[in-house]
Amino acid sequence: MAGLFQRQALAPVLSLFASTGTLVCCALPALFITLGMGATFAGLVTAVPQLVWLSQYKAYVFTGAGAMLAFAWWMRWRSRNDPCPADPAQAKACARMRTIGGVVLYLSIGLFATGAFFAFIAPRFI
């Protein structure tokens, strides 16, 4: 039973954290600069110098996040036909976890795509 819940929610949640890292590395700086908050971003980089490291190694950040997304998608696909328990309360929890896992996975994919746009596509237009 615990394995079923892990396949349905744990992998998508981990992919959400990885996808959020792509936003921090690449979309956040673009947002601050676009809104005219360059000084605020400079202060943020001074307070959190790891942001510079994330931007320097964005290919590795995106590779890791893409691998996590692929793993989460595979886990979700693999458990798509797993039966839920016969107990009504557990069946309801199982169905809810499947829904939450799907929403989180699609949210992660959206965040990853946004970060990829700002990291690799948008700089070509500037």
Distance between CA atoms of residues 70 and 64, nearest Å: 10
Contact 4, 94 (CB under 8 A): yes
**pTM for the full predicted model:** 0.79
pLDDT tens over the chain, length 126 residues: 455 555 567 778 888 888 888 888 888 888 888 888 888 888 888 888 888 888 888 889 899 999 989 988 998 888 878 888 888 998 898 888 888 888 888 999 998 998 888 888 888 886
Contact 115, 107 (CB under 8 A): no
For 55, the token pair is 């931007």
Q: In the chain, what are the domain boundaries?
A: 2-125
Which residue in this structure is represented by tokens 């069946």? 91
Burial class (CB in 10 A: 0-12, 13-18, 19+), 9: buried
